Structure 1
């Protein structure tokens, strides 16, 4: 989510944009276009296919962060797009480089994040021969990117880069992929870099606002669900003001908890994996749902069960910046093509009722949330998964983090059952405090945390990663160390692919296959990269280890050993297995 103000309609064009330009290489023109569009960092893995662009960066005022694998830098660029609201920029080479980066493109697509991936490509005279590392990127990325194209001539670089910036940010934001033939980048032409126009910001019509007011007036059990992208800090503040003025319960969509202060008295919780049963019932029984900015896809909709398809049983007001998303799955009572801020500004102009039928429901919803999000008291050492015999109680870990971390801390994570502890028990306080993939992509947390710490070095950044999750992008510890990114990495090591094991025990109880992990000494690995590292062998060891990590002022890694049986805050693997066996008879 953007923490920056809305950019001007036209970005200032650097002095290089002379109306009588001298011939420059395609690589130089491309980098000039990035400067014209206010790009302040590029993430990359170098490749011989775009050496001319790498050469142009030598003379540019755009820093490069060089990662260790294309998936990692693509995640970093996606996280940058989440944080800024402007396209995160990533450069990779052809063939295998692009294939590795596809994971980050998929995250950007599912998470509605602006991003541009530039891919070095074979020479134009070699196309169609199955040349070295040749891939048709239009075919490869067309299902997960908003727009994919190859820049055939250097003269068209300004045009196509400007279009890429607009496309990535307009409507429902997402990724754009541009292929760069290596010979095109060496061509010398005289052309002018341009800055893209700002993406349009649609807003509600007067008729839609009046209809919305009628729906609110007739409601008895309304609930607001905030999610998606294209939020500004001002819009977040306006939503809180409206919630107070109208006494409304506000929930957030899956991994969008930053959109409403979780300690606010009108916060009802997050509609995602492991939803609070009380919140699930509240949404299901509501007579008016205001879905603000989100798509309500599979995870948030509880497997498409919260709303009937295609016509929900609740009255639904669906507000979304992408007109194509309205009515795509759910036929709303009222569909409004608007960015969240514009819709909220219009809502703020309405007069709230003096005694709404739903008075007091927000307080009840928040009380339910507080009860759900408070970690249980630890049990005696020695109990399964609760800190005895060298194992760490994740409930206590979360309680310590809540007590010790500043309100503005950034919490990053990838995917796995370990994340259930974070999303249930961590209370996010505002914009820019969460970096987590709604796409459920493993390996995302560490690269995202690196991007966050590079962008805001004075801010506390914590990544919680599972052992399987971390090993998808563990090599990016080298990137963090090189960049001086002093984040805190908490490794939750239970020796299994936890989410898959959970489903395996549910479907095939007692028949374990391919879900055990042989893990390294993660603390030793951190030390090899020059990080402060600690092995947390018991629950009592965690708080002093965290204090030492935060005080170290450098990259830190805390290796926690946890019980694989304590698979989520709500259940254990042994209980899942027993239930599945009983069901089989």
Structure 2
């Protein structure tokens, strides 16, 4: 390199990349576009891996999963207009889940703005109601400041998505500013009065309950909160799609609330005289459509870093403005003197949950139509091969219940899903989980309707060396909508039946191991071969399980 080349200033696109490096980003997810070529040029020499996806929805789902998995903002790069439109689905997911994510969108040149130019759109109008901030990089020398602001906004308080617009002409200009250091994110704290309120409430309780979920958890926080609950025998219920906050085998784990859950967690939420929510609020799904825990006299203490309590319903006795980490640190020193023994109350919920967490025995399963297998048998066999710390991914649909009940969640994080009912998430999330944790087994439980929404990201998995198992529950329908349809318009099935391709052939097309399962007798051998492909050969595996439409969700034990 010549002295002239060495002395040449960075362009703004390269400064954006250097700012990402300063924020500890080691992987971004993108679909290329001509509007942010300068950023792609900056990535050329960076130590950041640019994972190029096949659809902007897949790329931004990957960024959302990265944020959920690590607690640090996941980063996606897409182009203007159509690219931004395709990315919107994951922005909505990140907004509803409180996931830190930064989406960079290439924009039209400033001189073209407001003239209905090619692929022009207004990012504030599009994304303003579903993001924490929408920023526009209009000043070249503020490029690094804008990145720092975006990461701070995405991470602080209740995390969420931030969109940063990158005008095509601005990011080509020279950058003469300084690279901005990351802004610190406060965890909040429990003051003396907060601690005394917790001690008083719990010491006087007959039926206390911890309710866990939301963002800003870490493995250490998970362990600390589990130890606190176990030390005092306080039962724990989780928010929907957040069942990995304490180990599934914990002697205080009483299950989870929300769609598809058992009756007992909801009963405990309603009967508890004191509920301590950590990281999560009681929104519509865990309260069964705003029907549970709505009594005006209910004692509910919420510990959350969100000053707005976004999504909360029902009475709130006390709001402690603190993250799960701040609560966990304070909980280690909490001295509680309960006036009664909570063992019976705790055991009731735990035993009910454990009875639902094992697939029904084969001998109790009803017969299926010829050419189909039981998902219960598939999950039973899968559990035989799982290590202690698998990661499961799933999106939306009846198939999710199989993962929620039967995939162990012993290690935080171990469950990646969405709380906004968004389909197409499971395969992109599995790509991220495998890249981030190549030493752990990753299993995507996918419905046939969901799989074809982003199943093409198997190409991304193969290109970047991700290895995971995909189990496709193929029942030839959008099962959740069919169930709603049957309740509201009995025997008038309309628009919910689908004809599927050979998903096993699809999996093989991407270099994966793939098989169809059409009988329970096929399950054991197919599972062994698929697990070996993932863990022994480090490649993707797809099992297409043809299932009976009458058995889309788990049966209960007799």
Comparing 198-207 and 388-397, the one that deviates more: 388-397
Once residues 313 and 397 of structure 1 are traced to their aligned partners in structure 2, the CA distance between those partners, rounded to angstroms, is 46
| Structure 2 gaps, min length 5 | 1-6
Alignment partner of 1:51 is 2:51: no
Alignment partner of 1:558 is 2:535: no
SS at match of 2:234: coil
Correspondent of 1:492 among 453, 467, 473: 473
Once residues 313 and 265 of structure 2 are traced to their aligned partners in structure 1, the CA distance between those partners, rounded to angstroms, is 22
1:348 shift after superposition: 2.3
Q: Which residue of 2 aligns with 1:4?
A: none
Correspondent of 1:39 among 25, 29, 51: 25
Q: Which residue of 2 aligns with 1:88?
A: 74
What does 1:27-426 align with in structure 2 at a 5 Å threshold? 27-308=13-294, 312-325=296-309, 328-353=312-337, 356-379=340-363, 383-385=366-368, 389-426=370-407
Once residues 100 and 337 of structure 2 are traced to their aligned partners in structure 1, the CA distance between those partners, rounded to angstroms, is 38
1:130 shift after superposition: 0.8
Asked whether the equivalents of residues 282 and 313 of structure 2 are also in contact (C-alpha less than 8 Å), the reply is no
Number of aligned positions between the proteins: 547
SS at match of 2:13: helix
Once residues 363 and 414 of structure 2 are traced to their aligned partners in structure 1, the CA distance between those partners, rounded to angstroms, is 31
Alignment partner of 1:521 is 2:507: no
Once residues 107 and 70 of structure 1 are traced to their aligned partners in structure 2, the CA distance between those partners, rounded to angstroms, is 14
1:249 shift after superposition: 0.6
Once residues 297 and 503 of structure 2 are traced to their aligned partners in structure 1, the CA distance between those partners, rounded to angstroms, is 50
Once residues 326 and 31 of structure 1 are traced to their aligned partners in structure 2, the CA distance between those partners, rounded to angstroms, is 33
Alignment partner of 1:473 is 2:491: no
1:374 shift after superposition: 2.0
Asked whether the equivalents of residues 282 and 314 of structure 2 are also in contact (C-alpha less than 8 Å), the reply is no
Asked whether the equivalents of residues 203 and 339 of structure 2 are also in contact (C-alpha less than 8 Å), the reply is no
1:154 shift after superposition: 1.1
Question: Do the aligned partners of residues 31 and 206 (structure 1) sit closer, same or farther apart at CA in structure 2, a change above 3 Å counting?
Answer: same
Q: Which residue of 1 aligns with 2:427?
A: 446
Asked whether the equivalents of residues 457 and 485 of structure 1 are also in contact (C-alpha less than 8 Å), the reply is yes
Question: Do the aligned partners of residues 327 and 422 (structure 1) sit closer, same or farther apart at CA in structure 2, a change above 3 Å counting?
Answer: closer
Alignment partner of 1:540 is 2:525: no
Q: Which residue of 1 aligns with 2:3?
A: none
SS at match of 2:209: strand
Q: Using structure 1 for the length normalisation, give the TM-score.
A: 0.91
Q: Which residue of 2 aligns with 1:5?
A: none
Asked whether the equivalents of residues 29 and 158 of structure 1 are also in contact (C-alpha less than 8 Å), the reply is yes
Asked whether the equivalents of residues 247 and 360 of structure 1 are also in contact (C-alpha less than 8 Å), the reply is no
Once residues 87 and 326 of structure 1 are traced to their aligned partners in structure 2, the CA distance between those partners, rounded to angstroms, is 20
Question: Do the aligned partners of residues 333 and 354 (structure 1) sit closer, same or farther apart at CA in structure 2, a change above 3 Å counting?
Answer: closer
Q: Which residue of 2 aligns with 1:575?
A: none
Asked whether the equivalents of residues 95 and 135 of structure 1 are also in contact (C-alpha less than 8 Å), the reply is yes
| Structure 1 gaps, min length 5 | 1-20, 572-585
Once residues 255 and 302 of structure 1 are traced to their aligned partners in structure 2, the CA distance between those partners, rounded to angstroms, is 14
Once residues 427 and 446 of structure 1 are traced to their aligned partners in structure 2, the CA distance between those partners, rounded to angstroms, is 19
Question: Do the aligned partners of residues 267 and 94 (structure 1) sit closer, same or farther apart at CA in structure 2, a change above 3 Å counting?
Answer: same
Once residues 565 and 228 of structure 1 are traced to their aligned partners in structure 2, the CA distance between those partners, rounded to angstroms, is 34
SS at match of 1:307: coil
Once residues 328 and 449 of structure 1 are traced to their aligned partners in structure 2, the CA distance between those partners, rounded to angstroms, is 30
Asked whether the equivalents of residues 283 and 312 of structure 2 are also in contact (C-alpha less than 8 Å), the reply is no
Once residues 98 and 237 of structure 2 are traced to their aligned partners in structure 1, the CA distance between those partners, rounded to angstroms, is 19
1:541 shift after superposition: 1.3
1:460 shift after superposition: 0.6
What does 1:499-518 align with in structure 2 at a 5 Å threshold? 499-518=480-499
Asked whether the equivalents of residues 307 and 313 of structure 1 are also in contact (C-alpha less than 8 Å), the reply is no
Once residues 312 and 174 of structure 1 are traced to their aligned partners in structure 2, the CA distance between those partners, rounded to angstroms, is 30
1:328 shift after superposition: 5.0
Q: Using structure 2 for the length normalisation, give the TM-score.
A: 0.95
Asked whether the equivalents of residues 212 and 334 of structure 1 are also in contact (C-alpha less than 8 Å), the reply is no
Once residues 165 and 536 of structure 1 are traced to their aligned partners in structure 2, the CA distance between those partners, rounded to angstroms, is 45
SS at match of 2:277: strand
Question: Do the aligned partners of residues 125 and 84 (structure 1) sit closer, same or farther apart at CA in structure 2, a change above 3 Å counting?
Answer: same
1:540 shift after superposition: 2.3
SS at match of 2:220: helix
Once residues 497 and 297 of structure 2 are traced to their aligned partners in structure 1, the CA distance between those partners, rounded to angstroms, is 43
1:402 shift after superposition: 2.1
Once residues 346 and 452 of structure 2 are traced to their aligned partners in structure 1, the CA distance between those partners, rounded to angstroms, is 41
1:158 shift after superposition: 1.2
Q: Which residue of 2 aligns with 1:10?
A: none
Question: Do the aligned partners of residues 147 and 459 (structure 1) sit closer, same or farther apart at CA in structure 2, a change above 3 Å counting?
Answer: same
Question: Do the aligned partners of residues 359 and 486 (structure 1) sit closer, same or farther apart at CA in structure 2, a change above 3 Å counting?
Answer: closer
Question: Do the aligned partners of residues 480 and 280 (structure 1) sit closer, same or farther apart at CA in structure 2, a change above 3 Å counting?
Answer: same
Once residues 201 and 69 of structure 2 are traced to their aligned partners in structure 1, the CA distance between those partners, rounded to angstroms, is 34
Aligned-residue Cα RMSD (Å) equals 1.7
1:260 shift after superposition: 1.0
1:390 shift after superposition: 1.7
